[in-house]
Amino acid sequence: MASTKDIRRRIRVVKNIEKITSAMKMVAAAKLRKAQERAEAVRPYADKMRAVMGNLSASVGEIDHPLLQVREVQNAAYVIIGADRGLAGSYNANVMHKAINDIEGRDAESVKLVLIGSKAISFFRRRRYEIAAEFDPPGSDVTFADIREVTRKTRAMFESGEVDAVYLVYARFVTAMRQDPTVVQLLPMSAPAEDPDSARADYIFEPKADVMLGTLLPRYVDTQLYQAFVESQASEHGARMTAMTAATKNAGEMIDNLTLQYNKARQAAITTEIMEIVSGAEALN
Partner 1 sequence: MSEKTFRLEVITPDRVTLADDDVVSVVAPGAEGYLGVLANHAPMMASLGIGKLNYRRVNGETGVMALGGGFLEVYDNTASILAECAEPAENIDIARAEESKKRAKQRLAAGGHDIDVPRAEAALKRAINRLKIAKQP
Cβ closer to partner 1: 91 or 135?
135
Closer by beta carbon to partner 1, 41 or else 277: 41
Q: Does an H or E element contain 282, and which?
A: helix 209-284
In the complex with partner 1, the residue whose CB is nearer, 21 or 224, is 224
Cα–Cα dist 194/56, whole Å: 9
- Output phi, psi for 42, to 5 deg: -75, -30
Considering beta carbons, is residue 55 or 154 the nearer one to partner 1? Answer: 55
Q: Smallest distance from the beta carbon of 219 to partner 1, in angstroms?
A: 8
Separation CA 115–CA 150 (nearest Å): 10
Q: Fill in the amino acid letter for 222.
A: D
Closest distance of CB 71 from partner 1, Å = 26
User: Smaller CB distance to partner 1: residue 199 or 278?
Assistant: 199
**Closest CB 215 distance from partner 1, rounded Å:** 6
Q: Return d(Cα 60, Cα 53) in angstroms, integer.
A: 10
Q: Report the run of H or E that residue 19 belongs to, with start and end.
A: helix 4-60
**In the complex, minimum distance from the CB of residue 145 to partner 1, in angstroms, rounded to a whole number:** 8
DSSP state of 191: P
Rounded least distance, CB 202 to partner 1, Å:
7
- Order of strands, edge to edge, in the sheet holding 130-135? 130-135, 111-116, 76-81, 165-173, 179-187
Rounded Cα distance, 57 and 205, in Å? 12
The smaller minimum CB distance to partner 1, of residues 129 and 226, is found at: 226
Residues within the interface to partner 1 (CB under 8 A)? 38, 41-42, 44-45, 48-49, 52, 55-56, 143-144, 148, 152, 201-207, 209, 211-212, 215-216, 219, 223, 226
Q: How far is the CB of 237 from partner 1 (least distance, A)?
A: 17
